[in-house]
Amino acid sequence: MHRTLRWSALLLLAACKPAQQVQQTPPPPVVRPAWVDSRPVTGNYYVGIGIASKSRPDFQEAAKQNALNDLASEISVTVEGNSLLYTLDARGSFTDSYTSTVRTRTSQQIEGFELVDSWDSGSELWTYYRLSKVEHARLQDERKRAAIAQATDLHARSRTALGTGDLPGAFDLELRALLALRDHWGEADRVDIDGRSVVLANELYAGLQQLTAGLTLTSLPERCVLEPANGYRRELLLRARHGAAGTARDMAQVPLTASYPGTAGKVGMAKRTDTDGLARVNVEGVSLEAAAPELLVRLDLEALMGGVGDAATARALTAGLSVPELHVPIDLRLPRVLLKADERAYGNPLSQAGLAVALREELARRGFRFTDREAESDLVVRLAADTREGGATSGFHTAFLDLTLTCTDRRTGELVHQTGRQGVKGVQLAYDKAALEAYKKGAQDLRKDLVPALIAAIL
């Protein structure tokens, strides 16, 4: 019994003793590699550091690509004083966009790089890549030799194509030759062509310029005459030739654009020359509002480029090329018109100016000529108008105007156009004044609707 009490007392004392604190071991400090805090500097390597958040599923690949992009930014783009790039940059900020493009291509095509180290911060992955400058220079020389060989071959094939009359094929080959060298436009690499030592990229660009500048466009006939004899419709024969006078030859499948002012706006069309270097264009419905109408024919440079791979670079490259144009004057020889008018009010001849004056003014304003001799006329326009009483109410009298407008070809007697209005209303305090009011409204309809419809039918 005493022993039990003694053990109980000891346990009670132990329970009352203050508890000792548990000692915890602190985590080791995070050790950041030196290359994370300070970018490595070395004369023998290009260095690239990439970072990617581990929250994205492709963080490993992203960190690698970011490092390669960073590495590529260290590789300088050469721009020599007599290079093509130096010449092109005289017309704008071509170098900046070119440099950006080359660096993007470099990061995509870079070879021989190696992973030096990587570090996981817990939330980010850091990667450190490097590329031997000697190895990079060796690979660049290999690529340049291959590009020069390809470009030289394409240039020779371009000249052969031009000799056969294939301008689109020649242009495509010359453009592809230039694009094959696009990573080296800033360098003045010389090659021998026909016994001449030339800067290859400059020679290719000069060849591209000559392909467009040497194209001559002509039209048969030289002026587009639209007149009653041809129904105001004319077919023109366009011809595309390349080369100097005496040695020029016809070019097949040359893409052209043609446009002229039409009654409903600009009329545009796309054409290609046939095997004889010819293309046919129809001109009709020419606007009378144009001060000096003409058919504008241009080489379609966009179509000539076709489906070249690097379209954006190709457009920037060809922006300074000379694009040949042909301006063909359009002579609108409007018909001589004999106007016969019979205007009445309630069956009696109209004593004041009616619709005939408005009709003559509108046609004359657009260039139509008038004659009093039927034998000299091309068209006979007949205007017939009369009013009828519509009743009177509260002292107001109503008149209704009925009119017809007919146009015939004097030589053939064929009906060209016929139109009219029925029941044009005029209200006044007397029937004679109501008739004049109806004629006034009829003249408005004539100017706004009837004359434009008549002209459209004639032309």
Is residue 145 within 8 Å of residue 154, measured between CB atoms?
A: no
On the question of pLDDT at 6 being above 60, the answer is no
Q: How many angstroms separate the CA atoms of 326 and 239, rounded?
A: 10
On the question of pLDDT at 11 being above 50, the answer is no
Predicted confidence (pLDDT) per residue in 407-428, tens digit: 999 989 999 999 999 999 999 9
What percent of the chain stands above pLDDT 70?
88
Domain range 215-332, CATH architecture:
Sandwich (2.60)
On the question of pLDDT at 7 being above 70, the answer is no
Report the pLDDT value the prediction gives residue 234, as an integer from 0 to 100: 96
Average pLDDT of the segment spanning 44-72: 93
Report the pLDDT value the prediction gives residue 374, as an integer from 0 to 100: 92
Q: Which amino acid is at 218?
A: T
Confidence of residue 72 (pLDDT cuts 50, 70, 90): confident
Neighbours of 411 (CB within 10 A): 11
Report the pLDDT value the prediction gives residue 107, as an integer from 0 to 100: 57
Report the pLDDT value the prediction gives residue 330, as an integer from 0 to 100: 96
On the question of pLDDT at 26 being above 50, the answer is yes
CA 183 vs CA 85, 98, 135, 141, 173: distances in Å: 10, 9, 18, 12, 18
φ/ψ (deg, to 5) at 247: -120, 0
Predicted confidence (pLDDT) per residue in 128-187, tens digit: 999 999 998 898 899 899 999 999 999 999 999 999 999 999 999 999 999 998 888 888
Average pLDDT of the segment spanning 60-89: 81
Q: What is the DSSP letter of 18?
A: P
Buried b / exposed e along 58-92 (16+ C-beta atoms within 10 A): ebeebbbbbbbbbbbeebebebeeebbbbbbbeee
On the question of pLDDT at 3 being above 70, the answer is no
Predicted confidence (pLDDT) per residue in 98-137, tens digit: 656 665 566 556 788 999 999 999 999 999 999 999 998 8
Would you call the peptide bond into 221 cis, given omega within 30 degrees of 0 as the criterion?
A: yes
Report the pLDDT value the prediction gives residue 85, as an integer from 0 to 100: 73
Q: What is the DSSP letter of 286?
A: B
pTM (2 d.p.): 0.73
For strand 224-226 and strand 325-332, is the pairing parallel, antiparallel, or unpaired? parallel
Average pLDDT of the segment spanning 69-85: 77
Q: How many angstroms separate the CA atoms of 315 and 303, rounded?
A: 11
Predicted confidence (pLDDT) per residue in 305-357, tens digit: 887 767 778 888 888 899 999 999 999 999 999 999 999 999 999 888 789 99
Predicted confidence (pLDDT) per residue in 232-286, tens digit: 899 999 999 999 878 899 999 999 999 999 988 999 999 999 999 999 999 999 9
On the question of pLDDT at 10 being above 80, the answer is no
Is residue 286 within 8 Å of residue 226, measured between CB atoms?
A: yes
On the question of pLDDT at 82 being above 90, the answer is no
Report the pLDDT value the prediction gives residue 264, as an integer from 0 to 100: 84
On the question of pLDDT at 97 being above 70, the answer is no
Is residue 226 within 8 Å of residue 333, measured between CB atoms?
A: yes
CA dihedral 164→168→171→176, nearest 10 degrees, is -110
φ/ψ (deg, to 5) at 355: -80, -30
User: Among 3.40.50.10610, 3.40.50.1970, 3.40.630.30, 3.30.70.100, what is the CATH number of 336-458?
Assistant: 3.40.50.10610
Neighbours of 396 (CB within 10 A): 12
Confidence of residue 78 (pLDDT cuts 50, 70, 90): low
Q: How many angstroms separate the CA atoms of 3 and 201, rounded?
A: 109
Asked: is 39-135 a CATH 3.10.28.20 domain? The reply is yes
Q: How many angstroms separate the CA atoms of 182 and 310, rounded?
A: 10
Report the pLDDT value the prediction gives residue 18, as an integer from 0 to 100: 54
Residue-averaged pLDDT of the chain: 87
Long-range CB pairs of 365-371 (<8 Å, 24+ gap) are 366/288, 366/334, 366/455, 367/288, 367/332, 367/334, 368/334, 368/335, 368/337, 369/334, 369/335, 369/336, 369/337, 370/336, 370/337, 370/338, 370/339, 371/336, 371/337, 371/338
The crossing angle, in degrees rounded to 10, of helices 167-180 and 200-213 is 160
For strand 255-262 and strand 265-272, is the pairing parallel, antiparallel, or unpaired? antiparallel
Q: For the chain, what are the domain ranges?
A: 39-135, 215-332, 336-458
Selection from 391, 444, 398 nearest residue 421 by Cα = 444
The dihedral built from the CA positions of residue 429, 432, 435 and 437, taken in this order, carries a sign that is negative
